[in-house]
Amino acid sequence: SKALKILLSGSLSLALSFHGIGLAEAKVGVNKPDLLPKEFTAVIDVAGFLSDGQERRLSEEIASLEKETGYKLRILAQNYPDTPGLAIKDFWGVDDNTIVFVADPTFGNILNFNVGASVDLDIPRSFWSRLAGKYGNMFYWKEKGEDVSIEAAVEAIAACSREPLNTTKCSEIK
């Protein structure tokens, strides 16, 4: 479908840009630096899903997580095509330790993740799809709200990231 092609091309452009490829291939409308805040923040909510208090609490959890684990969790809440898109890469200094969490209900599942190479080595890939399946599905976020989906996902990411590295790491979505 057309919506799936747009989502995949936008996600692919964003993913490729994390590896330094494909910046010129980005779709029009997914690079709007004017939608970025003036000051650095780990949470950008252009969609208005979160209250100021929720943004503050999430920012505090993200700072704590980064201090403890070295992982840089960054959250972009958007409604495609109203997104800063590729502009977040430079704004956030996306690198191998970055988890870019894009909350966008446009195509059904609200939870989308792009993870850096170091994160990918430590957190099983299956964790991200299970997390999206649990808290990102349309039934969950339509009943509970986009904000609750975002907060639950951050709690699960924080819990998983703090687990010791072993064969059962992140086997449960908390």
Question: Quick check: is 174 in a domain?
Answer: no
Residues 6+ apart with CB under 8 A from 144: none
Model confidence over 69-99: pLDDT tens digits? 999 999 999 999 889 989 999 999 999 999 9
Tokens of 57: 């609490």
Question: Quick check: is 168 in a domain?
Answer: no
Given its phi and psi angles, is residue 48 left (phi above 0), alpha (psi -120 to 50 degrees) or beta?
A: left
The residue segments making up the domain with residue 84 are 2-162
Question: Quick check: is 35 in a domain?
Answer: yes
Q: Pseudo-torsion of CA 104, 110, 114, 115, nearest 10°? A: 130
pLDDT of residue 57: 98
Secondary structure of the chain in HEC code, one letter for each residue: CHHHHHHHHHHHHHHHHHCCCCHHHCCCCCECHHHCCCCCCCEEECCCCCCHHHHHHHHHHHHHHHHHHCCEEEEEECECCECCECHHHHHHCCCCCEEEEEECHHHCCCEEEEECHHHHHHCCHHHHHHHHHHHCCHHHHHHHCHHHHHHHHHHHHHHHHHCCCCCCCCCCCC
> Is the per-residue pLDDT at 125 higher than 50?
yes
Instruction: Give whichever of 9-18, 24-33, 43-52 has the largest mean pLDDT.
Output: 43-52
Model confidence over 136-147: pLDDT tens digits? 999 999 999 999
Is residue 136 within 8 A of residue 110, CB to CB? The reply is yes
Supply the mean pLDDT for the chain.
86
> Is the per-residue pLDDT at 7 higher than 90?
no
Question: Quick check: is 170 in a domain?
Answer: no
Query: What is the model's pTM?
Result: 0.82
pLDDT of residue 118: 95
Q: Looking at the 3D structure of the chain, how many domains does it have?
A: 1
Question: Quick check: is 113 in a domain?
Answer: yes
| CATH number of the domain enclosing 35 | 3.10.310.50
Question: Quick check: is 169 in a domain?
Answer: no
pLDDT of residue 3: 45
Question: Quick check: is 25 in a domain?
Answer: yes
> Is the per-residue pLDDT at 27 higher than 60?
no
Question: Quick check: is 54 in a domain?
Answer: yes
pLDDT of residue 29: 53
